[in-house]
Amino acid sequence: MFLRIGRSSRAVLLCRCSAASGLCVPKATRNVNLTAPKRRELSYHPNEVFLFRTCSTSQAKLNCWNCKHLLDNVPAFFCNSCKVIQPPEEGASYFKILDCDYTFSLDTQKLQKRYLELQRSLHPDNYSQRSVREREFSESQSALVNRAYRTLLKPLSRGLYMLQLEGMHLEEGTDSAADPAFLMQLMEINEAVDEAKTPEEAEKIGRDTRGKLTDLTEQIDAALHRGELHAAKALLVQMKYYTNIEEKVKEKLSEFM
Ligand code: ZN
């Protein structure tokens, strides 16, 4: 048996064979209250291997901290039985948290709707009269949902996050990854924004940039679908530059007002 520490003080026993494949289908689940010393003691037990959040959380079953009822969904925000708020499932992907398809071209209207629904039910203001534990869970759940929403809303951060989920990391500062000819072209567009004399000139650059961003979105989506992570990364670097130009155009337009 594998033991997976699902949440801070509880553990779930998992089947060895399925855990090896990364899909934790529990053979048996039970609540175990693990204090720190107990956890250490367990982790030294020679006949058991302990996995700390290394498995996919999508399949692991957890129990409600309040009534012990088995939670139906992962991540579960509330218990279906007693309706009490649950602790955040930090390992869950932002796509799961916001119940979105795992795709770069996700439906941002659906994303926003789900975000607003969750924030309404998780907001700390709703828990001011509840126990300390519930207040803490509401604060951490609410913060997690905010983080997930901010990351998935913008294509650039969404794409970078998807690469991260696929095991690829973009270093701080991605300049080295950009092609010199591309950088030269971007420099020219930047200059054109600086030198724009009328709102129409700036708007034209803004339109071209948005068109370019739309093309890039399609190309990145296709690259991710094909599993071409390096190509997707290179396109995301381009997207980063065009996003900066889009911001610059907005600033320029505000100067004309
Ligand atoms: Zn419950």
* Per-residue pLDDT tens digits for 177-223: 678 899 999 999 999 999 999 999 999 999 999 999 999 999 999 99
Same domain, 189 and 219: yes
Same domain, 38 and 105: no
Residue 29 and residue 1 in contact, taking contact as beta carbons nearer than 8 Å: no
Whole-number Å distance between alpha carbons of 76 and 66: 13
Q: What three-state secondary structure class fits 131?
A: coil
Q: What is the tally of structural domains in the chain?
A: 3
6 CA to middle of ligand 1, Å? 16
70 CA to middle of ligand 1, Å? 8
From 107, 121, 225, select the one nearest 155 (Cα to Cα).
Answer: 107
Q: What is the pLDDT of residue 53?
A: 30
Residue 84 domain-assigned? Answer: no
- pLDDT, tens digit (0-9, with 9 covering 90-100), for 29-69: 333 333 333 333 333 222 222 222 333 444 467 899 999 99
Same domain, 106 and 178: no
Q: What is the pLDDT of residue 211?
A: 97
Q: What is the pLDDT of residue 86?
A: 95
Q: What three-state secondary structure class fits 102?
A: coil
179 CA to middle of ligand 1, Å? 55
- pLDDT, tens digit (0-9, with 9 covering 90-100), for 61-120: 789 999 999 998 878 999 999 999 999 987 899 999 999 999 999 999 999 999 999 999
CATH number at residue 128: 1.10.287.110
Q: What is the pLDDT of residue 228?
A: 93
| Domain C-terminal end among 111, 137, 165 | 165
| Domain C-terminal end among 165, 186, 220 | 165
Tell me which residue range forms the domain holding 238: 174-255
72 CA to middle of ligand 1, Å? 11
Residue 61 and residue 12 in contact, taking contact as beta carbons nearer than 8 Å: yes
24 CA to middle of ligand 1, Å? 22
202 CA to middle of ligand 1, Å? 57
Q: What is the pLDDT of residue 41?
A: 30
Residue 42 domain-assigned? Answer: yes
